[in-house]
């Protein structure tokens, strides 16, 4: 997680895209496919680009260690890298089950932002 944060901070790309994930690899696949299709670094059918580079780097912040989610992130990291867009994965300890109390919900959400 620290390496991803440091690499993102050192990047000259200024508009990161943060995606939250947990255990739904199918939804993450749909999300990343849509980002890949519509990302400004993608080419249109006529060979031109959509526009200035935004949504870069892409950071997927994952609660837990779901292997399907991890595999999806690794697959798309390669595809985005081929476009020159870095994709980083940050893994966080999964929040405890049950109702969150006090500041627990805030802490769980804040962990995604490093």
Structural domains of the chain in order of their starting residue, each with its CATH number: 2-113 (3.30.750)
Q: Mean pLDDT throughout 1-5? A: 48
Q: In what order do the strands lie in the sheet with 87-92?
A: 17-21, 58-63, 87-92
- 99 falls in which pLDDT band (50, 70, 90)? low
47 or 86: which leads in pLDDT: 86
């Amino acid at each position: 997680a620290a390496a991803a944060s440091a690499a993102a901070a050192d990047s000259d790309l200024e508009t990161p895209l943060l995606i939250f994930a947990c255990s739904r690899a199918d939804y993450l696949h749909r999300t990343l496919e849509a980002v890949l299709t519509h990302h400004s670094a993608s080419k249109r059918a006529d060979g031109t680009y959509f526009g200035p580079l935004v949504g870069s780097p892409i950071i997927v912040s994952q609660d837990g260690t779901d292997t399907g989610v991890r595999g999806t992130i690794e697959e798309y990291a390669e595809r985005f890298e081929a476009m020159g867009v870095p994709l980083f994965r940050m893994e966080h300890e999964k929040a405890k089950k049950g109702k969150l109390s006090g500041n627990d919900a805030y802490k769980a959400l804040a962990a995604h932002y490093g």
